[in-house]
Amino acid sequence: MWWNKNKKDEFLMTLKQELGEVESDVSLAKISYLKIGGLAQYYFGAKTKEDLIKSVRLARKLDLPHLVIGASSNLLFLDKGFQGLIIKNNYAAKDAIYINGSEVIAPSGIILLVLIKELGQKGLGGIEFLAPIPGTLGGAIVSAVEANKKEIKNFLVGVNVLDFNGEVKFVKKEKLGLKYRQSKLKGLAKARNYLKYPVILEAKLKLMPRSKEEVERLVQSVFLMRQKSQPQGISLGCTFKNPKIEFDKHSFPDEAISNGRVSCGYLLDKGINFKGKKIGRIQLSKIHANFFINLGGAKSDHYLKLVEEVKEKVKEKYNLDLKEEIEIIEN
């Protein structure tokens, strides 16, 4: 109903009255991490916890599709845009970090690197391996991030969420279903037509004592490691999850296998020889083919076409079904 012009203006007026600075027809190609996407009908930057709660409650009350995003570093928006409200989580103030011994409560919108550095100043560490991941704390938990075979879940105690009923409550990590690149929250917004899903406000972490110098040293070393293995350019990181393999049916070199999964980098590069393949302005990186690079001005259609071609080829050659690690935002 909100694509009718009058209704659209009416919604905008209500959103502005309640939230203040709400924009309309915002280019997702301008504001998203991957720089792809049409227009977001409405856009709101939530600077505080109260902003976040208020905007989500309001969108729910108006029955307005809405999506809470962090840094959008795992999201592919489509060229047709998003019909509804994008809530950018900027709840990231350093003074909203509370430390009690080795336990930390941090705002969900804080960028991982900023959090790591801030905690390093206070003599706490352990999550330096997350430093090069360009996401927020909330997005990292939803996506169950891991790097160098270490997982965020091992440092997580639980999260404060705004639940389905609009109540704020603490949820222990065991209830979040965190496993390889998956959680109960990942994809839930889409499955619920972007209408009612829990939103992470804060996370409680358990870290370890570590000097500021040691934290800095570890951060630098993970960045150096990344520089050697990770392609430059705008991307969402890995497009596909590494698929599980059955050892009696498949044979891959040892270096392509980890934890019972075969690396997509190997499959897309050596396996189907798609390294450097390009459609429109999207190219599979020549360094790591699971990274789909936006060469500038790329379209979501081209990204999706490459996704389909890769899936078909891998299925044909290895009888493996690839699943996206990225989230495709569609409504």
Give the span between the Cα atoms of 258 and 222, in whole angstroms. 19
Question: Exactly one of 125, 139, 158, 265 binds ligand FAD (CB under 6 A); which one?
Answer: 139
| 286-313 b/e (C-beta count within 10 Å ≥ 16 → b) | ebbbbbbbbeeebbbebbbebbeebbeb
In the complex, the smallest distance separating the C-beta of residue 248 from ligand FAD, rounded to whole angstroms, is 29
In the complex with ligand FAD, the residue whose CB is nearer, 94 or 179, is 179
Tell which positions 176-215 bind ligand FAD, by CB under 6 A.
185-186, 189, 199-200
CB of 157 vs ligand FAD, minimal distance in Å: 16
In the bound complex, what is the minimum distance in angstroms from residue 4's beta carbon to ligand FAD?
27
Binding ligand FAD by CB under 6 A: which of 142, 176, 282, 298? 142
Among 41, 143, 290, 294, interactor with ligand FAD by CB under 6 A: 143
* Least distance in angstroms from the C-beta of 198 to ligand FAD: 7
Q: Which is nearer to ligand FAD, 177 or 209 (CB)?
A: 177
In the complex, the smallest distance separating the C-beta of residue 97 from ligand FAD, rounded to whole angstroms, is 16
Size of the residue set binding ligand FAD (CB under 6 A) = 32
Q: Under rule CB under 6 A, which residues in 72-131 are in contact with ligand FAD?
A: 72-75, 89, 108
Q: Binding mask 36-75 vs ligand FAD (x if CB under 6 A, - otherwise)?
A: -------------------------------xxxxxxxxx
Distance between CA atoms of residues 75 and 242, nearest Å: 18
Q: Does 138 bind ligand FAD (CB under 6 A)?
A: yes
Distances (CA, A) of 51 to 47, 73, 86, 114, 205: 6, 22, 13, 21, 23
With CB under 6 A as the contact rule, the residue among 15, 87, 145, 215 that binds ligand FAD is 145
Alpha carbon 36 to chain centroid distance? 15
Q: What angle do the packed helices 5-19 and 49-62 form, to 10 degrees?
A: 150
Nearest-CA neighbor of 204 among 158, 161, 172? Answer: 158
Q: Which is nearer to ligand FAD, 313 or 329 (CB)?
A: 329
Q: Is there binding between residue 282 and ligand FAD (CB under 6 A)? A: no
Min. distance of Cβ 230 from ligand FAD in angstroms?
Answer: 6
Nearer to ligand FAD, 2 or 82 (CB): 82
- Shortest distance, position 266 Cβ to ligand FAD, whole Å: 17
Using alpha carbons only, give the angle 175, 169, 121 rounded to the nearest 5 degrees.
85
Nearer to ligand FAD, 124 or 189 (CB): 189
Q: How far is the CB of 189 from ligand FAD (least distance, A)?
A: 5
Residues that bind ligand FAD (CB under 6 A): 67-75, 89, 108, 133-136, 138-140, 142-143, 145-147, 185-186, 189, 199-200, 235-237, 327
